Structure 1
Amino acid sequence: MPLFTIEPGQSRLATVEQLIEMNFRIPAFQRPYDWEEAQVDDLINDLHEAERKGVPLFLGLVVLCPDKDNSYAIVDGQQRLTTLMLAIAAKGAVGRVLRSDALHLSTLWVAPRVADIGFTRAMLASSRESERTLSQKKMSAAFDQLHSDESFELDTLLKAQVIVYVAPSLAGATGLFERINLRGKDVSQFDLVKNKLIEWVGVECEPESRSRLEDFITERYDTLYQRLDPRHDSQPFNADRLLRTHWILFTDKQFKSSDRVLEKVNDDLSEVFQESKSVVQWIQDYLNSLVEVTETWAAVERPFESMPTNYGASLRKALLDFARLDRHGEFQPLIVAAIIRWRDAATDLVKICEICSFRSALGKRNSNRGRSYKWRVARQLYKGDWCDASSTLISSARDAVHQVYWHVTPFWDTQEAVDFGYDLTQQEAAAQVFPDGALDSAHFYTEYGHVAHYLFWKYGVFLPKSEAWGEHTREDITPFQDPAWFGKEDGKVSFQNWDIEHIYPQNAEDRDTRDGRRHKQSMASWLHHLGNITVLPIRDNRGMKNLPFTEKLSWMRAQRKVSFNELLANADYRGNLMDRPHWGMNNCRKRVAQIRSAAAEIWGPAAVASLGVGQFDERLEWYEADGDEQD
C-alpha cells in the first residue's frame, strides 16, 4: 500500500492509522513536550466516550510543512501527535511507532527534539533512562498514565481523525498557528513571537536567503528552549516574563506594562520594512540579544536552580535574597543588565535593589514606583550608554547603586536623610512612610504578613553572625538550606513550609482563668505585633495549638531549632516576663527592639552606606515617579 501523502497547499481528513504511514519531525524551534496529567486525562476520556458511542474521535487540525527525506515538520499539533505516539505504544503497538530501518536502526514515528530522541526511543522500548528535564518527566508521566488506562482499545485510537493541512512553506504554516489552538495549552506570546518572526521571513525575496534565515531562527530557538527546559523536578519557566524583560532591554521605545511584546515586535518589523531597512538584520539582532539575556534572566528568576556555576558566592547569595523577597518584577531588567555588564561585580546593585524593595514593602509603596526610571536605566545599562546628570558614563556597580538609592529608594528614617545631607521639608517628611516605624505597628501580622517569613529568614541568617547573639545561637540558617525553609509552589520556591505563629496565642487555653482573662485584656493591642509573632515549620506547628507560653516555649525549643526561637528562652533577649507564666508586653517590646536593631543593620543606613552611597550631588538629576507606577 502506498504511503499516505498530502500535497503542499492541500488539506485532508485522515485517521491516525493513515498518519502512521507518514514520517513526522518536531522542529528544533518548537517548545518541548509539556502536556499535564489533566490534558492526557481529557484525551483518554474523549477516546473512551468515542468508543462507547461507536464514532471516530475528532482531534482537530494539524498543520505541517514539507521537510527533508519525505517527512513533514509539525508546526501545530506536536503535543497531540507526540501523545498519540505514546498512546499507541502504551497499547502494545510499539512496532508501529518505533520502526527499524534497513540498517536496523530504530526510528520514531514522531521524531521529537534532538535532546529527547534517545530518551523517547528507550522509553517506548521499555528501557527507561533517567529523566533529566521537565519535558522528559512529563513525557514519561503521560506514557505511564496511558499505559495504565484500560478504558479504550487500540482500534479506537487508530480510527481517531484529524484534519491535516500541509502548508507550502514554513512561513505559511506558522501564519496559521496564531489563529488555531484547538487542543492543548493556550498559545503563549513566546510561541507567537517565534511564529511572527518566521512569517516575516517571507519578505525576503531570495529563496536561499529565506532558507538561511529559517535555519538561523530554528537554531536560536533550539538554544532558547534548551535553556528554558528546567530540571525534571521543576515547573516551567514563565517565558512571557522573559520576553518582557528582554524587550525592555532591547527596544529604544517606551514600553508600558500593559503592552504585549508580540504587537511591539510586529510594529518594529513593519517599521523596518517600510523604511527599506534589513528585516533579516533586525531578526538576527533580536534573537541574538534574546539568547544572550536568557541565561542571566533564568538565574535571576530562579537562582535556587538555574545559577551558572561561574557566578561567585556573593552574587549567588545576593540573587537568592532578592528572589526570596518576591517583589522583583520592576527591578529584574536592571539586575539582568547589570550581571551581563559586570557579572560578579553587580552584587552591590542587586543588594540595593533588595534593600529598596524591602523598604518599599514596609512603607506600603507599590513595587511599581519609579517603573519608567528602572526600565529606562536598565536599557541604557544593557546598551552601555547609561550616563549620570554630569554626562559621565555609569561604569561601575557602585555608581549605579548611588543612582538607584537616590532615585527610587525610600529613606529608612529621617536621620538617614540628614546623615546623607538631604534636608527634608516638613511636607516631605510627613508624606514619607518610614519603614522603621512599620516594625512597631500594632497590626504587623495583618499589614505586613506577606514579608514576615522573609524578615525572619534574614533575621535567622543574621543572628549567628551578630556580635550580641552569635554565641547564644547554635544553628546557622544558610541561604542554600532549601529543604528546611523553602517549598515549591506555582513554579517558584516559596516559604510555604512555614507558618506564622503567635507567641502569646490568639486563643490561649488559659484565657478563662481570672489571671488569664486579665492578661488577655492587657495583650489585646500586642497580639499581632512583630514582638509577638514568629515562624515555625508547618509540620512542627500543627501540634502546638494554643498552649500557655511556658508549655509552648518548651515545645518550640524541642522542635527543629532556629535561632530566633531559641532566643525566646534567653532572658537578656526577651526581657523579664511581666506576669508569669505569660508572654507579655515587656517581652514584645524587648524582642521587637532586638529585631529592629538587626533590621537596621540588614536593610538600614549602615547597609546602604556599606554599598558606597554618598550624599546627593551633581551626578544626580532629580526624578519624579511617573503615572505608570500604578498599572
Structure 2
Amino acid sequence: MTEIPMGPELLSPGQSCLATVEQLLDFDFDIPAFQRPYDWSDKQVSELIDDLSDAQRKEVHLFLGLVVVCTQSNGRFAIVDGQQRLTTLMLAIGALGGTGKILRPKGGGVSSLWISPRHADIGFAKALVSTSSETEQTLSQRRLKQAFSKLSDQKALNLATLLGAQLIVYVAPSLAGATGLFERINLRGKDVSQFDLVKNKLIEWAAVEKDSIVRGEIEDFITARYDTLYRRLDPSSKEEPFDSDKLLRVHWILFTQKQFKSSDKVLTEVDSAIDETYSSKKSIARWIESYLDSLVRVAETWVAVERPYEATPPSWAPQLKHALLDFARLGRDGELQPLMVAAIIRWQADATDLVRFCEITSFRSALAKKNSNHGRSYKWRVARQLYQGTWSDALKQPISLAADAVHQLFWANTPYWSQGEAREFGEDLTLEQVGAEVFPDNALDSTRFYKDYRHLIHYFFWKYGVYLQHSKEWADFTRIDISPFQDSVWFGNEERFKGWDIEHIYPQTPADRDTREGRAHLKVMTQWVDHLGNLTVLPVPDNRGMQNLPFIEKLAWLREQKKVPFNELLATPDYRGNLLNKPHWGINNCKRRITEIRTAAAKLWGFDAVRELGVGPYDNRLESYQEDIEEEGGDVPDNSAETVAA
C-alpha cells in the first residue's frame, strides 16, 4: 500500500492508499447506476456519530475501513464498495459547515457533488447540502434527509475530526475485479443481499468476454437494468425498502427450467446456469440479457403484488387491485406469489379471479390449520409453467383461462369448506376422513377462535364489514359517518391493521366480576369469551376509552362511534338475538351472531364463491397431484417444455 498520495492521478489500477477524508476531497466519485439507492438507517448514522465523537474525545483518527473503486473514462472513480459510508460522510461535511468542500462550482452556474449519487437523487442531494428546501419523493431521499438532519444536530462535533478520519482506497483493475473483491470482503461476517451478489456475479461472468467492446456493452446492459430495478424498488411511501431477495426468489421460480426448492440459493443457481451456458459454448451475453429482461418484467408486477396499497399501476383494473389488497391483508401464503405474478403478466385484468381464488384457498388452509407451504412444489411448478406458457391439463389442453387454472388449483390442495361442499362436488366422505379434517366452516364456531386464529381476525372483519354494506338483509341497519373501509384506514403503509384493536364484546376481565351477578355470568361465559361470536374490532383510539364495561353500557358507546357496520348491528335484536342477559352479552347472543357470520362467510369463501370462479366436479382434465405435493418444498418431476422464459 502506498503512502498518502498527493492526488488521484497518482493512484493507478491495482494500487491502494491510506487517505484522510480531507485528502479524498481531491477525488471525484460517482455511484454507478447499478448500485442500490441510499439506505442507511437512523441506527447506522448514530453509530457513525458515536464513533466520530469518541475519536474526537480521544484525539485520534477514526478508521472507516476499505473503499473499493474503479476508474471511469470521465476521470472520476466509480464506487463499488463503500458508497453508503462515503455518501454519509459527504452529508456530514455539509451538515457541519463544509458545504463548499463537497459542492463544487462549474461553468455556467452548474455545480457538482463530491460524491455524485444515483441520477434520481442528484438534484435532491444538492439541495439538501445547500440547505435548500426540496420535497423528498422516495424512501432513499427520505433517508438522505433524515441522515442530514441528524448530523446537523451534532453541534459538539468538529468538522476537523470528520476530515481527519481515514479510509483505505483500493482501485480495482476492472469492474469485475471490484465486484469480486466486494463479494470476498462482505461475505465475511456481513449480511449481504443475494440481490447484490447476483448482480456482482453477472458482472464477473461478463468479464469472461474477451472482446473489450462487447464486454463493455454487457456491463452497460447490466448497469441499465439494475438502474431500472433499483428505481422500481425504491418505494415512494414511508415504507421499508422492498425485499429484493424475495423478488429474486419469485423471479427464479418462474424463470428456471427446473423445480426450485426452498433450500436453494438463487446466487448458486444463477452461477450454475451461466457456467453451464459457458461450458456448452453458448452466449453468456444472451443469457444475461434474457435473465435481466425477465427480472425487470417480473419486478414491475411483483412490487404491485407485494404492496398493492402503494404500487399498483394506474392502468390496472380496479377489481384486480381490490383482489390483491384482500390477499395482502390476509398476510399469509407467500408461496402463491409466483403464481399470481405469472397470471397477471399473462392475463392482466383477467387474472382477478385467480387472485381471488388464491385468497380463498389461503384463508381456508389457515382455518383448516394447514401450513402455508402446503403444496408448495405444486404451486411453484404450475406458476413456472404458466409464466413460460407450458401449463396444460391432463388432456394436454393449454391452461389459457383463469377459470381453468382455478379448477386445477382447487382439486390440487384446497380444503373443502364443509362436509356439505364435499357432497355438492360429488364426494361422500367417510367418518374417518371427516374426523381427520378441520373444516373451515366448523372452525368459525370454535370456542378457541381468538387463541387459534388471532392472526386472521382483522382480515376476517375487514371482509365481513364490506360484505355487510352490500348485504340485502343488513345494509339498511348500518350507519357509517365516515367509511372505515378505505385502504389508508385499515391497511396503513407501515403495518397491516396497525390502527385496529381486537375487542371482546363480553370482556375478558369484566368490571363487575367481584359482584354476585358478575361472578355468575363470568362462570357461564368462560367458555365463550374467545368465540368469534364474542369478538369485534375497533380503531385503537376508540377502544382505549371503553374499558371493561357491561354490554348495555358499552353498546351505547359503540353506537356513538358509528364507525363499522358489524358494531352498529350489535344494537339490532334480529342480529344479536333477543335473549340478552341484561346488562350482559351472553351465550345466546354469541350463537345468534355466529349464525349470521357463518352465513356471510359461506358466501365469501364457501361453495358458491369457488364455483363462481370456475371450480367444478372432479373430471378428466385433472392430473393426479399426490406425487407432486410435498409439504417442505422437495423436488418433483417436471414435464414442462425446455423453453426460454418469455
Asked if residue 206 in structure 1 is aligned to residue 211 in structure 2, the reply is yes
Cα shift readout 1:239-258 (whole Å, capped 9, x = no counterpart)? 11000100000001221112
Contact 2:176–2:204, Cα closer than 8 Å, also in 1: yes
Counterpart position of 2:553: 551
Contact 1:473–1:567, Cα closer than 8 Å, also in 2: yes
1:445–1:159 Cα change, 3 Å: same
Cα shift readout 1:255-305 (whole Å, capped 9, x = no counterpart)? 111221111111111121122221111111110000000010000000000
Alignment of 1:160-239 (within 5 A): 160-181=165-186, 186-239=191-244
Alignment of 1:146-545 (within 5 A): 146-181=151-186, 186-475=191-480, 481-489=486-494, 493-545=495-547
1:202 and 1:516 map into 2 onto residues whose CA distance is: 78
Deviation of 1:180 (Å) = 2.2
Equivalent residue letter for 1:3:
G
1:549 and 1:474 map into 2 onto residues whose CA distance is: 20
Counterpart position of 1:562: 564
Counterpart position of 2:640: none
Contact 1:504–1:583, Cα closer than 8 Å, also in 2: yes
Contact 1:456–1:535, Cα closer than 8 Å, also in 2: yes
Contact 1:398–1:611, Cα closer than 8 Å, also in 2: yes
Contact 1:362–1:438, Cα closer than 8 Å, also in 2: yes
Equivalent residue letter for 1:531:
G
Deviation of 1:615 (Å) = 1.0
Counterpart position of 1:626: 629
Higher alpha-carbon deviation: 338-347 or 231-240: 231-240
Contact 1:27–1:113, Cα closer than 8 Å, also in 2: yes
Cα shift readout 1:441-490 (whole Å, capped 9, x = no counterpart)? 0111101111011101110000010111011112399796133223344x
Higher alpha-carbon deviation: 468-477 or 547-556: 468-477
1:304 and 1:54 map into 2 onto residues whose CA distance is: 51
Asked if residue 140 in structure 1 is aligned to residue 142 in structure 2, the reply is no
Contact 2:533–2:594, Cα closer than 8 Å, also in 1: yes
Which of 4, 8, 13 is 2:13 aligned to? 8
- The unaligned stretches of length 5 or more in structure 1 are none
Deviation of 1:544 (Å) = 1.4
SS at match of 1:535: strand
Deviation of 1:205 (Å) = 1.1
1:223–1:476 Cα change, 3 Å: farther
Deviation of 1:559 (Å) = 2.2
Alignment of 1:111-122 (within 5 A): 111-122=116-127
Asked if residue 110 in structure 1 is aligned to residue 112 in structure 2, the reply is no
Contact 1:4–1:21, Cα closer than 8 Å, also in 2: yes
1:480–1:96 Cα change, 3 Å: farther
2:568 and 2:373 map into 1 onto residues whose CA distance is: 38
Contact 1:224–1:294, Cα closer than 8 Å, also in 2: yes
1:414–1:478 Cα change, 3 Å: farther
1:168–1:208 Cα change, 3 Å: same
Equivalent residue letter for 2:589:
N
Aligned length: 628
SS at match of 2:616: coil
Counterpart position of 2:62: 57
Equivalent residue letter for 1:383:
Q
1:592 and 1:607 map into 2 onto residues whose CA distance is: 19
Counterpart position of 1:604: 606
1:520 and 1:380 map into 2 onto residues whose CA distance is: 56
Deviation of 1:630 (Å) = 7.4
Equivalent residue letter for 1:352:
F
Deviation of 1:166 (Å) = 0.4
Deviation of 1:560 (Å) = 4.8
Which of 101, 125, 146 is 2:106 aligned to? 101
Counterpart position of 2:53: 48
Equivalent residue letter for 1:579:
N
1:342–1:479 Cα change, 3 Å: farther
Deviation of 1:408 (Å) = 1.7
Contact 1:340–1:382, Cα closer than 8 Å, also in 2: yes
Contact 1:56–1:156, Cα closer than 8 Å, also in 2: yes
Deviation of 1:409 (Å) = 1.0
Contact 1:366–1:629, Cα closer than 8 Å, also in 2: no
1:559–1:630 Cα change, 3 Å: farther
Equivalent residue letter for 1:10:
Q
Counterpart position of 1:127: 132
1:184 and 1:109 map into 2 onto residues whose CA distance is: 30
1:628 and 1:522 map into 2 onto residues whose CA distance is: 42
SS at match of 1:337: helix
Percent identical across equivalent pairs? 61
2:570 and 2:562 map into 1 onto residues whose CA distance is: 14
2:483 and 2:265 map into 1 onto residues whose CA distance is: 39
1:67–1:480 Cα change, 3 Å: farther
Equivalent residue letter for 2:218:
L
1:253 and 1:419 map into 2 onto residues whose CA distance is: 37
Cα shift readout 1:29-66 (whole Å, capped 9, x = no counterpart)? 00000001111111111111111111110000000000
Deviation of 1:517 (Å) = 1.6
Equivalent residue letter for 1:146:
L
Contact 1:549–1:581, Cα closer than 8 Å, also in 2: yes
2:148 and 2:621 map into 1 onto residues whose CA distance is: 61
1:396 and 1:232 map into 2 onto residues whose CA distance is: 35
2:265 and 2:165 map into 1 onto residues whose CA distance is: 37
Give TM-score, length-normalised by structure 1: 0.97
Contact 1:137–1:232, Cα closer than 8 Å, also in 2: no
2:530 and 2:265 map into 1 onto residues whose CA distance is: 42
SS at match of 2:64: strand
Deviation of 1:211 (Å) = 0.2
1:265 and 1:151 map into 2 onto residues whose CA distance is: 49
1:463 and 1:364 map into 2 onto residues whose CA distance is: 27
1:333–1:553 Cα change, 3 Å: same
SS at match of 2:27: coil
Deviation of 1:235 (Å) = 1.6
1:441 and 1:235 map into 2 onto residues whose CA distance is: 37
1:254–1:612 Cα change, 3 Å: closer
2:267 and 2:19 map into 1 onto residues whose CA distance is: 33
1:533 and 1:567 map into 2 onto residues whose CA distance is: 13
Deviation of 1:426 (Å) = 3.9
Cα shift readout 1:549-590 (whole Å, capped 9, x = no counterpart)? 111111111225200000000001000134211111100000
Contact 1:135–1:232, Cα closer than 8 Å, also in 2: no
1:630 and 1:442 map into 2 onto residues whose CA distance is: 33
Deviation of 1:431 (Å) = 2.1
**Superposition CA RMSD, Å:** 1.8
Which of 592, 595, 599 is 2:597 aligned to? 595
Counterpart position of 2:639: none
Contact 2:483–2:563, Cα closer than 8 Å, also in 1: no
1:567 and 1:298 map into 2 onto residues whose CA distance is: 38
Contact 2:377–2:633, Cα closer than 8 Å, also in 1: no
Contact 2:458–2:497, Cα closer than 8 Å, also in 1: yes
SS at match of 1:494: coil
